[in-house]
Amino acid sequence: MPKSPVTAAIHDPISAILGTRGKVAVMRVLASAANPLQQREVARRTGMALRTVELALDDLLASGIVERVVGGRERLVQVRSAHRLTPSILAVLRAGADHWPALRSELRAAATTPNDPTLLAVAVVGRVATRSERIGDPLDLLLLTADDATAARWVERFASLGDGVAARFGVTLRPIGYGLDAAREMWAARTSAAEQTVRQAERVHGAELLVLLSGG
């Protein structure tokens, strides 16, 4: 059976690197918990089936990074603080959790420096917006501006960030921009796929795409 493709590599880089999404999810929940948790609670917080969590915990317990805690009839688990790798693993989990917010912050900073009221909207679209991107997928960035000339200028501005973003985050920026009038003309003749893309977009700066395109 062929290996399933790794998805959401930008939002969840630790799983993409380690290839153990279930274990990473369990570790992330345990690392953020103030107290030991029941296995059922771990399953609830991860959104995974209890059996899947149990299988992940079997390996984590065997590795020693997670330990059982006596809790009456409850089966409680927690990260083992004495394990030599615990500080490093927790640091990696924190860095992984901050990966997407940090990238999004850089994009927002680029959109607001300099402050340009003719840049009406910047939004992430496509697979990254729906958290379904695979390793190697670009980050599609849609820019709406007051006119076509401004759109070309801002596309060039974001394209110039590409090398730095690729080096720090491992992703290729793919900006595309339209003046508002041209964008509204295309919106009037939109396909259902185009409408879904706009509705699923994640705003980075400015107004919501749907509001601008609908004339709101």
CA pair distance 40, 46, nearest whole angstrom: 10
Query: How far out from the chain centre does Cα 144 lie?
Result: 22
What 3-state class would DSSP assign to 115? coil
Residue reference for tokens 């110039």: 160
- Whole-model pTM: value is 0.83
Domains and their CATH numbers in the chain: 13-97 (1.10.10.10), 99-213 (3.30.460.10)
Encoded amino acid at 157, one letter: R
3-state secondary structure of 25: helix
pLDDT at 61 over 70: yes
Which whole number is the average pLDDT over 168-193? 97
Using alpha carbons only, give the angle 142, 147, 102 rounded to the nearest 5 degrees.
Answer: 30
Render pLDDT for 3-53 as a digit per residue (tens, 0 to 9). 566 667 688 776 655 657 899 999 999 999 999 999 999 999 999 999 999
70 pLDDT band (50/70/90 cuts)?
confident
pLDDT digits (tens, 9 = 90+) for 120-140: 999 999 999 999 999 999 999
